[in-house]
Amino acid sequence: MAGRLVRLLVPVLLLVPGVGAGDHPGKGPETLVGVPAVMVAVDSLDAHFQGSAVSEEAVRRAVRSSLEDANIATGHAEDAARLHVRIESRRSSRRFLALAIDLELRQPVRLDRDPERVFAATTWSNAAVSPLEIENSDAVPERVGRFVAHTFVRDFRAANSDQP
């Protein structure tokens, strides 16, 4: 019974943004207007995923696929923003992990008081936590890709809907 409840709740939890861009002034979708390209950077995975099919490269491919499916340019362009993906897990029971997905878009910015210098700043962020059956941990890259599609891609499209 608990397993069925979790399977029903997981898709819902991933569609509901956590503490996200809308909660932080200056970090909403409007900061995505005109972003020319997005590079994907995946932080090191924690010990729960060592020895499984989950790897930084698998997560990177899933995120890039979500971006490319939405016609968002990816790559290493000089003016590309960098989407940082951080995944953490904590064992919550014998069968489940609590999976935390954290996304941050960092862009080069210039300060009004010092326009000659360029800094990297987080201009958009979102996060979610959901349960994950340990036996299904190989599905982490796909789940992260879906979260990117439901949060970042949605906001990117909204911000750039009038762009050519």
Confidence category of residue 163, pLDDT binned at 50, 70, 90: low
Q: Are 27 and 125 in contact (CB under 8 A)?
A: yes
Query: Who wins on pLDDT, 112 or 53?
Result: 112
Task: Return the pLDDT at 109.
Answer: 87
Mean pLDDT of the chain: 83
Question: Is 143's pLDDT higher than 80?
Answer: yes
- pLDDT digit string (tens) for 62-113? 999 999 999 999 988 777 899 999 999 888 888 888 999 999 999 988 888 9
Give all domains of the chain, ordered by start, each with its CATH number: 2-159 (3.30.160)
